[in-house]
Amino acid sequence: MINRRNFIQRSVAGAVGIAISQEVYPSIVLQKKKGKLGVALVGLGYYSTDLLAPALQLTQQCYLAGVVTGTPAKAEKWKQKYNLADKNIYNYQNFDSIANNPDIDIIYIVLPPSMHAEYSIRAANAGKHVWCEKPMAVTEAECKSMIDACTKNKVKLSIGYRMQHEPNTKKIIQLRKDLTYGKVMKVDVAAGYFDARTDHWKQKKNMGGGCMGDMGVYPLNAARYSVGLEPIAVTAKASTTRPEIYTEVEETMKFDLEFPGGATASCEASFGKSMNDLLVTCSKGWYKLSPFQAYNGINGITSDGTKLNATVVNEQTTQMDDDALAIMNNTQVMVPGEEGLKDIRVVEAIYRSVAQKKRVTI
């Protein structure tokens, strides 16, 4: 089985590079679309192929302008399917030359977490705005380096927390701000699915695998935006029911967060079981979303029977249009790098708690 690590290693090693023509096609459909920002996807795995690329066909403020891949066959397939210009198709060896391409305004990093910092920094140094999938990076130090690179190059950095762009999620954040049901006292949140794969980067420690960085940031981020404060302590426990597969990283992570003022959060993430619920208990009532982080169908209800069931055409489309507008209008992106860094700071504390088998202050 060839995973992303293998093909990237092969491309970097120079085995069978892509012969990319720099010919500029005259066809108008290949020219930069007026009034829209050009997006290049880096890494053409499932999320780019099945979700981001289709979503970019629906966006109003941006469009799919190019791709970066280490697989020649993928490059040709994407070129034909999305009518991409040869000059907008890159590999990992000529990536930095993207700086000279005016068609590309934004580089969207959709690689394993261990590669986020490197390619985000290179994208920023190329003068391109950066969108990076979650988790932002593996360490807080890497997150800081990404923020610094984008600040230095005067480009925007946005992290792909699509749920913060979703209307029902935005509603519960507003309920908290307005104290509609009183002060938040307790958050119960869990996200997980059964992953049957046995050889994937999510099971490799050196690629940033483990359920905490992948599914774990959903309950972590939800706990933070539900309470509206930063956690001050965590107690965590990692486990696995399939040690023959999860030899390097955890399959399941449970963690309890403590917040200033007494609020707490009980969180769980897993690659071993299906979970998808968020319950926020307040001093004068409660509200919940179930599911709270699916690609569609986010639904909820409050203790007084109010339904939370607003819909969007496509979550990824909404996210990318929001972020493109922030670039166009030079306004703050909804989920900046600092937000991703705050999660990774807690993730590192969670792993310290697991290693030390005790409560850890953050």
Residues annotated as catalytic are 134, 218
What amino acid is encoded at 166 in this protein?
E
Whose tokens are 């890494």? That residue is 43
Sheet holding 106-109, edge to edge: 89-90, 62-68, 37-42, 106-109, 129-132, 157-159
Q: Where are the alpha helices (DSSP H) in the chain?
A: 4-13, 46, 53-56, 72-82, 116-125, 140-152, 167-178, 211-214, 217-227, 315-329, 337-356
- Residue 223 CB partners (closer than 8 Å, separation 6+): 187, 189, 231, 257, 265, 267
142 CB-side CA count, 13 A: 19
**Run of H or E residues at 272:** strand 272-282
Strand partners, 192: 270, 275
φ, ψ (nearest 5 deg) of residue 2: -95, 115
- DSSP, collapsed to helix, strand or coil, labels residue 146 as helix
Strand partners, 37: 62
Q: Are 89 and 97 a contacting pair, CB within 8 Å?
A: no
